[in-house]
A and B are shown apart, each in its own frame.
Chain A
Amino acid sequence: MAERLLDVESLKVTFATEDGLVHAVDDVSFTLDRGEVLALVGESGSGKSVTVMTLMGLTRSPNARFEGSARLRGEELVTAPDEKLEKIRGREIAMIFQDPISSLSPVMRVGDQIVEQIRAHEKVSKAEAMDRAVNLMERVGIPRARDRARSYPHEFSGGMRQRVMIALALSLSPSVLIADEPTTALDVTIQAQILQEIKDLREQSDSGVIFVTHDLGVVADVADRVLVMYAGRVVEQGTLDEIFYDPQHPYTWGLLGSVTRMDRNPPHRLPAIPGLPPSLLNAPVGCHFRPRCPRAFDRCTEVPLLESRVEGTPEHVDRCWLEVSEKRRRREVEGRIGLAAGTVA
């Protein structure tokens, strides 16, 4: 049994704004074990980034309120004092940010930035830290690492920059690695390389990885388990196979439906999910997805409970009141899983 690294229970993050309360994260729970990759899937505004950043305490501000718990190997993170979190950041939990050009300091040499991370937690000399930094850069596939460590971020290409970020995140061998849309800002060919890096890492190290993305193709490539978020809530959670082959939530169908698949004939039109994500200030009553869901019915005005409805898979949970048989019947469009456009009930 792999060690349980993260245990998040009913995490809630609320921001007080001029216009009202924003429930950015609403009752999110999940776990992460050593060696596994959990994909956190959702659109912009679904709360996935806020969730992971809260684990590191990066969302703390005067107008943020937190409830629930997030335990890293038993230690509570949500209420931990800043000093404690400072020790954990970078060392136990590290993050690969989305946009490497803005996430790296433009005025510091790349090598120095990695050195800074190392020396923030370990008492080593600058020379030694630099050696380690160069090593890391080589490990993530940056050629002529010793020279390039003296370069500035703007002198690298996008893919190389992201590798620097990966090197940075790995420098202290953290138990939990969070990758927040690491490939979104890169073009497709580089994406593939970076994903390969991350997969290799999973082989080599023992870390648990949380991979935040909106791209299901990436999920299929990398993930062991998947958490689907919508408008701040978890709407479905399960293993990769469960989500891809037996998805229970209409939003998941929509996501799957909008991915082109190479093993099928292309449909006449890629079914897109109609409508727009809701404003978190005035969220719809009950199920947040209700206004966009062609399968919504009267019970949907009551917040669906997150529970396992499929027999035999207690870890596969979802937030949809529909009967499982009904879901299985309705989720196909032209022979493939997708969300049919239809009138809202």
Chain B
Amino acid sequence: MARFIVRRSLSAIALLFAVSVVVFGIFEVIPSYNPARAIAGRNANPATVQEVSHKFGFDKPVYIQYANTMKLIFTGQVIDYQDDLNVVDQFAHKFPVTLSLVIPAALLWFGLAVVFGSISALRAGKFADRAVMVGAILGVSVPVFLLAALLLYVFAFKLSWFPNTGYSGLSNPTQWAYHLILPWIAIAALSIGFYSRVLRSSILDMSTQDFVRTARAKGLSGGQVFRRHILRNSMMPIITMFGLDFALLLGGAALVTETVFNLPGIGQYEAQAIGNLDVPPILVGAMFTAFFVVLFGAFSDILYALLDPRIRLTG
């Protein structure tokens, strides 16, 4: 276990390093990109731009700039170009909003996927099964922002069942949930179908395994056999997938969903930064997400090893 943690930590560091280099490098490539000008303001004269450039170290060689930026990030002092705010602070401030979006959505998605996947497998070939299959294919064919926009239009605008956009703090739980229901649905709706199908496949495979036959031979009821033997073993593939997808959710769907629903989370922050070519938030955001990818990857692997005693944790 210790070795596992060490190896994963090392690969996390390596990944973060690589990610930061890549993102930094990408923005160095743009010839017309001039952060000094962005900071100095549109109408600044060349002298001011030069001053700003010098102050921020933009006139130094690339690798020194990189080193400096990294130092700033890890000491929590990095400032964004656009609004002169501390990026790390901003992230800390906005992260809870993103969590409010992402965690319940993920629970919803996973929970419903287990339900639908089980129903789909138990009623294989019948209507309920086909309905889930259709849902699954639709889910992976619709971009999140389109679904989000559609939900907003129908349920918030036309029917006024839900508020238009915006976020409400946790202090008022009902309001908080009320504002987040549509975003939760938007995110969950996409993946439920897919996960249900994977689970369904798993369950059908498991049902023909020998040990399931033994379980039946013991005189256990159908329900007992299903819950204790089939379902438990079938969940492994979706658990591993879930870890990775959750992390990617932070870096992807969250971005887009927060933009459409105007939720002030890190996704919206990153999206705005990208629009403004504001490198520091993009950099921090990329590293942040990459970190979660490794973290959740490790969690999945650990969970998998816990569930299946045949698996030994390897680096």
A interface residues (Cβ-Cβ under 8 A, vs B) = 56, 58, 82-83, 86-91, 94-95, 97, 99, 102-107, 116-117, 120-121, 152, 154, 168
Contacts and interface: CB of A to CB of B under 8 A. Distances in A.
16 contacts: A56-B217, A58-B216, A58-B217, A97-B210, A97-B217, A102-B209, A102-B210, A104-B211, A105-B211, A106-B211, A106-B233, A106-B309, A116-B228, A120-B224, A152-B309, A154-B310
A91 B216 CA distance: 12
Nearest to B236: A107
A154 B211 CA distance: 13
Contact of B214 (A87, A104, A152, A154): A104
Contacts of A102: 209-211
Contacts of A99: 210
Contacts of B138: none
Contacts of A95: 217
Contacts of A121: 219
A91 B218 CA distance: 8
Interface string B226-269: 00110011000000000000000000000000000000000000
A95 B22 CA distance: 61
A90 B217 contact: yes
Contacts of B209: 102
A88 B216 CA distance: 11
Interface of B: 209-211, 213-222, 224, 228-229, 232-233, 307-310
B122 to A, nearest CB: 13
Most buried by A among B209, B228, B229, B309: B309
Given A106-B309, A106-B310, A107-B307, A94 B217 contact: yes
Given A87-B219, A116-B218, 9 more contacts: A56-B217, A58-B217, A97-B210, A97-B217, A103-B210, A103-B213, A105-B214, A105-B215, A106-B233
Contact of A152 (B211, B213, B218, B310): B310
B229 A120 contact: no
A214 B60 CA distance: 83
Nearest to B232: A107
Contacts of B229: 105
Give the secondary structure class of B's interface: helix
A103 B307 contact: no
B219 A90 contact: yes
A82 B219 CA distance: 10
A35 B309 CA distance: 40
Given A152-B309, A154-B310, A103 B219 contact: no
B211 A117 contact: no
A87 B221 CA distance: 9
A120 to B, nearest CB: 5
Nearest to A171: B218
Contacts of B211: 102-106
* Most B-side CB within 10 Å, residue of A105, A121, A152: A105
A86 B217 CA distance: 8
B226 to A, nearest CB: 13
Contacts of B228: 116
A102 B220 CA distance: 18
Contacts of A97: 210, 213-214, 217
B99 to A, nearest CB: 32
Contacts of B310: 106-107, 152, 154
Nearest to B233: A107
A21 to B, nearest CB: 21
A211 B228 CA distance: 30
Contacts of B309: 106-107, 152, 154
B208 to A, nearest CB: 11
Nearest to B224: A120
Contacts of A56: 217
Given A86-B220, A106-B309, A106-B310, A58 B213 contact: yes
A89 B307 contact: no
Give me the 9 closest cross-chain CB pairs, A-B, nearest first.
A89-B219, A90-B219, A102-B210, A90-B218, A105-B211, A103-B210, A117-B218, A152-B309, A103-B214
- Count chain B CB atoms within 10 A of each CB in A86, A88, A89, A97 and give the residue with the most: A86
A86 B215 CA distance: 11
Nearest to A121: B219
B168 to A, nearest CB: 43
A98 B307 CA distance: 26
Contact of B218 (A82, A106, A120): A120
Contacts of B307: 107
A89 B216 contact: yes
A121 B221 CA distance: 11
B213 A116 contact: no
Nearest to A151: B309
A106 B307 CA distance: 10
A102 B213 CA distance: 10
B213 A120 contact: no
Contacts of A168: 214, 218
Contacts of B224: 120
Contacts of A105: 211, 214-215, 229, 233
A106 B213 contact: no
Given A58-B217, A90-B218, A91-B219, A106 B308 contact: yes
Nearest to B221: A86
Nearest to B212: A105
Name the residue among B213, B233, B308 with the largest chain A CB count within 10 angstroms.
B213
Contacts of A58: 213, 216-217
B304 to A, nearest CB: 11
A91 B217 CA distance: 10
Of the listed residues B213, B215, B218, B222, the one surrounded by the most CB atoms of chain A closer than 10 A to its CB is B218
A117 B217 CA distance: 9
